[in-house]
Structure 1
Amino acid sequence: MAASEDGYLPVMEDDFEQLSTDELRDRAVEHAKRHWDVRFFWRLLKLIPAAEAVSGRTEVSEASVAQASGFLYEALAEESDPGVQEALRPVYIDYLREHVN
């Protein structure tokens, strides 16, 4: 059986349960990176604090929220291209209208 473009041997959908969590994570992250699936990474960022709380690490889950928002803020602050910032302007307005007041 030939390996796929990411170097992994193909797995039938029903066989995913047989893979280790590390293998599942590696495959999912690699696939998302190859396909520029930002939604997947955003979903992980949103779920990590809850997963940490479920695993009994509540103090870490609060820190994760702060850390994730800090990473995003840094990324946005580093993007100093006025054209990019103007393109994001409607997103900021929509979000604030939806969540503030």
Structure 2
Amino acid sequence: MTSASFAELDALSTEELRERAFARAREHRDIGFFWSVFKHLPDSDDAASLDGAPNSVGPTVDEAVALWRELTGHGYGEQEPLLRAAFIDYLQKA
């Protein structure tokens, strides 16, 4: 499988990038990626109380992101450029 170019990925919305990166990380059981994203979310301490089994880290991070967005009514805030870069970088790795 050929990875997408930077321009192709950069044209996607942040949410689409997140969905693709999370799907890949779940497939590869890449807990390190989820943790790096989670700790960069605004107010991640509020979402840290989510409880999940170690084998369900993908859904737990998805739920943390959704919870934060629901509670604040915001996108990714000032962290969006950093998160977009992380998602694009992750998706470009073969």
Q: Which has the higher contact order (CA 8 A, sep 6+)?
A: 2
Larger Rg, first or second structure (1 or 2)? 1
Q: TM-score, normalised by structure 1?
A: 0.43
